[in-house]
Chain A
Amino acid sequence: MKRFSPVLVIVLIFSVAAILAVGCSSSKPYATGPIKTFDPDTTRIPMPSRKEQFQYWDRIDNSTFHQIGKVLDLNRVLRFFGKPLGLASPREADNVNKLDDVPESSWYTYRHYHNPMTQEELARGPNTVEPDTSGPWYIFQAKLEGAMGGFFFEDASGERFLAKFDGPLYPGLMSSVEVIGSRIFYAAGYTVPEATVAYFDPEQVFIRPGVEIEDNGEMRPMTMEDYRSIISGQGLYEDGTMRVFASKFVDGRPLGPWRFRGTYRDDPNDRVDHEHRRELRGMRVISSWVNDTDRRDANSMFVYNDRGYIDHYVQDFGNILGANGHTIHRPIQGQAYLIDPRFMLLNTVSLGTYVPLWEKIDGSYEFPQVGYFRADVFKPGRWVPTHPNPAFENMTLRDAFWGAKIVMNFSDEDIRTMVETGLIYDERAVDYLVETLIKRRDMIGRYWFKRINPLDRFEAGLNDKTLQITFSDLYIDGNLNTPDSHRYQYYIEAVNGEFLAEGVTDDSFIELTLPGHLLNGDNYQVIKVELHTLRNYDHLGDQKIDVYFEVGRNHTRLVGIDRDV
């Protein structure tokens, strides 16, 4: 009798598993009921235990072990090799509704893209109060974690804040980017702490009894000498005040950082692996826009709120735009990981003849209050943070489109409004920063909208028996080209295969008369509109989009969007 070898058995098991795992399930690409707009992860739970914050392990883990683990995950390997052969598709995000969008949750709130914010709202961002500088500040805790000096204080109104100071060589830089970053991420839909630039009287700061500070690994009472050491190097303004970045204590109990991978076991509401959340995958595009190079576990925060569930904060924007904490970004940041085997291999085998981009450019800057922040060397598709981020690594084209449309939704005026909240004293620096952000925004639009069809905001209405469909071409809306450069080819059918119409339109409007049986029946019918964008200048971004509408007597409803990638 023939014998099975153990190796053969293992190979067979993995082969069968591979076939079953790669074989995709198929469900209807449209909703037959309401569209999901909210993910109910806000059920009251007991307060989970606090998680320690570590500055190093997440970087080590994500840079080395996670990278090796990816190669050992045969699901990922099979997808990687199966994709070019047409046998597998990218692993899409888990929390996406039938409109290819992210429902609201404790992670994400519909803001500027879904509900346009006014300039005042954009400028206010998450803020509800600002530090009261009319009276004394009392330090109630020394800041221990993180690389930057600061302290926790209570103002005259009893509000509690974290104070962080600019690097002595770059006055005004870190405090401004912290505030600008909070406005941008808040408007994008994320939960961020309140942040403001404050000017306080350094002589009106006192230390509460019992405050301790670490000194050579030992805890001892904090003294005014320690306070003076923290503020040393900070310049005084003519009125004797000093500039500081102040972040208000969040409402609720901070429980430590969340991770960009896995779920939090202590939170039963946390059901979606973070690396498969679209708002975290798509954040890569938003981070690339502002060169948010330090987007990692340690710069996030779980907060158990008063309603009994966990809010997921994104925080620490001191490493965005031109700032790298107390110093400025270097040209390599955003171009490659701190340890990047791809470039290391290339450098090694080329015997040094390959010269990476960051070696060709100098790190000079025009405005110290902006630091090193450029558009001309920005590569939207290649941007990476300083350390690998599992959610960013998983970003698919659909996730990128989601992020890109949020970025492109910020108008020039919006950008200026948010930049001005950083209170940058040099007007030319403000102009430079705004211009650079506008350029980088447009580069993001040009890059990603050429790789996936950027038609969005579909709407339909019935005028008697005439169905009117409108949509936005985000490429045109973003002024990346003129409207006459795009035309749209459509093919419309009922989902049962009944042909309804086809044609080409010059503007983003389609009109067709529906046959009576689609409108007069007892049940609503679903029709599919297949759209292609015809561009005068290239063939990129003309992948089709299938849009599904539910129609019936006096009824139309968008029920599905399926973007081809």
Chain B
Amino acid sequence: MLHQTTGLKPLLCSVIFLLLLCAVPVVSATGLSADSTDTTAIPEDHPNLQPYETSYNLAQHILALPSYIFYWSTRPLGWGVQYAETRYPHLFEGERGDYGIFPLFESGSKVRFAAGALLFHQHLFRQNHEARVQFLYGTDDYWDVHAQYRVPVSQRHNSELIFSGNYERNPRHRFFIEDNRLFYSAEDASFRIQYNSSLSARMRMQNSVTYSNNTARTSSAELPDDPFTFPDELKGNYEILTFGNQFALDFRRGDMRKVSGTQFIAGADLATSLKNSTSYLTYHLEAHQFIPVPFLPESRRIGIRGMLLKSELLSGDEIPFFDLPALGGSRNLRGFRSERFRGSGALIFTAEYRYPMWDVLDVTLFMDQGQVFNNFDDIAFDRFESSYGFGVHLLTAKGLAFRAELAFSNEATRYILSITPTF
């Protein structure tokens, strides 16, 4: 200790002495003088022969040291951007480019955090045939890969065919029984053909057929001495074929930001098990309303969403548990964990105040109210679960590109990073 003390003192004195020496004012070139203004024989000390120079003394360098360190620590990023700009110029053009890649981050959804990338090509194989591949890898060895190929059918009806495939593996998929959190290992694959068309400027239709293969197994997260474990009767493999139809009436106004108007969405999915006689119908009704705040520009608006989901068993024993409507997660009841509440029906109301932070950034303050039920008679005011929060939405010309939100409920505080809009 004594050694350290005696070592620092002279060091400090030396530094101060050096600073005093080096902080002698820099001679300004403007102070130099000359005896003559004769340009034909300019003496060496004529100011026009003395160049200006930016100089810093040691004291100024010391004060700038944190900024130097920061500057040089950010240069590798700059070299990377410059290299990428030279090598892959379309990367920086966003989706205006023919092809590109975007980083993806997701949190608050099925896993705590996942990261990956979105690769797209606007004209793969043929003009306007768009391909996208998106993959995410997350905590607990979570995988989600999604590939899509979009083929325009008719420009007049703005119709298109979309072929998509999805593979998802989640070794620690959460499952709730009452307030008890359980885990199971989920592995799902699906293939879907979807036809979208605009029946009019305001009316859209969507038809789809989906083959899905879902497997639920014991999770490695489940411990032998857990008092509650994932029920054996729910484990197994499911093969389901689903036919879906959806109509949307869109009276909303606004491009990047929907600022006023209403949208109605109604849809039904008829699902049939390929392994047994189970079949079921899931229908949903949804309404979105946007109202500009009076006396302010219409970009300050309140958005309200109401949504009802209900599954009805048509034949067989029971609806596969993973296809039952669920609440909680990044798109509804955001203060609760993903699929926190599950029933044969779900009702959700959301109110959001959205206002611009910047050109393509919105701030949102939101409140979610929702409940699940098995029969309509179960719906009651005192059964609503509530969550609230705030966030920032990054927008593109097509709408939401990314959102970061912080949500609160009586069970958790959750942060959400997602590219999927709530409504």
Pairwise interchain contact A74-B37, C-beta atoms closer than 8 A: no
Do A41 and B51 form a contact, CB below 8 Å, given A13-B62, A27-B31, A72-B66?
Answer: yes
* Residue ID in chain A nearest B390 by CB atoms: A348
Q: Which residues of B contact A54 (CB under 8 A)?
A: 81-82, 85-86
Asked if B355 and A20 make an inter-chain contact with CB atoms under 8 angstroms apart, the answer reads no
Judge whether A96 and B30 touch: CB under 8 Å.
yes
**Minimum C-beta distance from B291 to chain A (A):** 14
Residues of A1-40 whose CB lies within 8 A of B: 1-4, 9, 12-14, 16-18, 20-21, 23-28, 31-40
Task: Let me know if A352 and B355 touch, CB within 8 A.
Answer: yes
A-B contact count (CB 8 A): 192
Report which of B47, B89, B293, B357 forms a contact with A33, defined as CB distance below 8 A: B47
- Which residue of A is nearest B293, CB measured? A352
**List of B residues within 8 angstroms of A271 by Cβ:** 51-54
A55 near B: Cβ within 8 Å?
Answer: yes
Closest to A102 in B: B52
CB distance from A372 to the nearest CB of B (A): 16
Q: Is B413 an interface residue when CB atoms closer than 8 A count as contact?
A: no
Are A36 and B47 closer than 8 Å at their CB atoms? yes
Report yes or no: B66 in contact with A36, Cβ–Cβ below 8 A. Answer: no
Q: A56-B85, A271-B54 are in contact. Are A33 and B29 (CB under 8 A)?
A: no
CB atoms of B51 and A33 under 8 A apart: no
Give complex CA distance A343, B363 in Å. Answer: 13
- Flag if A31 contacts B296 (CB, 8 Å): no
Tell me if A33 and B54 are in contact (CB < 8 A): no
Could you say which of B12-20, B281-289, B331-339 contacts chain A?
B12-20
Question: Does A27 contact B28, Cβ atoms closer than 8 Å?
Answer: yes
**Chain A: how many interface residues by the 8 Å CB criterion?**
74
User: Min CB distance, B230 to chain A, in Å?
Assistant: 44
Residues of A within 8 A of B37 (CB): 34
Residue in A3, A17, A61, A339 whose beta carbon sits within 8 Å of that of B63 in the complex:
A17
User: A98 contacts B30, CB within 8 Å?
Assistant: yes
Q: Which residues of B contact A40 (CB under 8 A)?
A: 48-51
From residue A185, how far is it (CB to closest CB) to chain B in Å? 22
Task: Give Cα A2–Cα B89 distance, bound, in whole angstroms.
Answer: 61
A40 to B49, CA, bound (A): 6
Asked if A73 meets B64 with Cβ closer than 8 Å, knowing A21-B23, A272-B54, A352-B300, the reply is yes
A340 to B358, CA, bound (A): 8
* Contact flag A347-B54 (CB < 8 Å), given A55-B85, A97-B30: no
Smallest Cβ distance from B1 to chain A, in angstroms?
7
Contact across chains for A36 and B50 when beta carbons are under 8 A apart:
yes
Tell me which residues from 194 to 214 in chain A have a Cβ below 8 Å from any Cβ of chain B: none
Bound complex: CA of A23 vs CA of B23, how far in Å? 9
Which of chain A's residues have a CB closer than 8 A to the CB of B12?
Answer: 4, 9, 12-13
Complex Cα gap A94–B55 (Å): 9
For residues 294 through 348 of chain B, which have their beta carbon under 8 Å from a beta carbon of chain A? 296-297, 299-300
Chain A residues positioned under 8 Å from B358 (CB to CB): 339-340, 343-344, 347
Nearest-neighbour CB distance to chain B for A509, whole angstroms, equals 27
Q: Shortest distance in angstroms between A60's beta carbon and chain B's nearest beta carbon?
A: 6
Task: Pick 13 A–B contacts, CB within 8 A, sort by A.
Answer: A3-B4, A12-B12, A33-B33, A33-B47, A34-B36, A34-B47, A35-B47, A54-B81, A65-B70, A65-B74, A73-B63, A216-B98, A339-B358
